[in-house]
Every structure is written in C-alpha cells, then in structure tokens.
Amino acid sequence: MELKITTFYCLCDDFLISKGWRDDPQCTMSTAEVMTAALTAAAFFSGSYE
C-alpha cells in the first residue's frame, strides 16, 4: 500500500511539473499531495475522504 501511495504522489508531481503548474507560496499542502489523498481514498477506502 505504501508503495502505491508513493507511486501516486510521484505520478501526480511529475504530471503537474510537465504541465508547468506552480503552487501558491502560501499553501501548506502541495497540489500533488491533495491529488494523492484523493487517489488514495478512491483506491483503498472506497472513495471515503474522511
């Protein structure tokens, strides 16, 4: 499970870099981390975000 979560993060981060996405300097959580949380919830917890 940890390997898949790490893979989700790397894929999201690489995707955002390839699209030229830049996070706001004030944010406390990167866009790749938010995307990883959503993918992890969908993959392992039947879409439950809690």
Segment 2-40, tens digit of pLDDT: 999 999 999 999 999 999 999 999 999 999 999 999 999
User: What is the pLDDT, as a whole number, of residue 47?
Assistant: 81
User: What is the pLDDT, as a whole number, of residue 33?
Assistant: 97
- The reported pTM is 0.86
Q: Is 24 left (phi over 0), alpha (psi -120 to 50) or beta?
A: beta
User: What is the pLDDT, as a whole number, of residue 48?
Assistant: 79
**Long-range CB contact pairs, 7-10, < 8 A, 24+:** 8/35, 8/36, 8/39, 8/40, 8/43, 9/33, 9/36
Structure tokens, 47: 């879409």
Is it the case that residue 1 has pLDDT exceeding 80?
yes
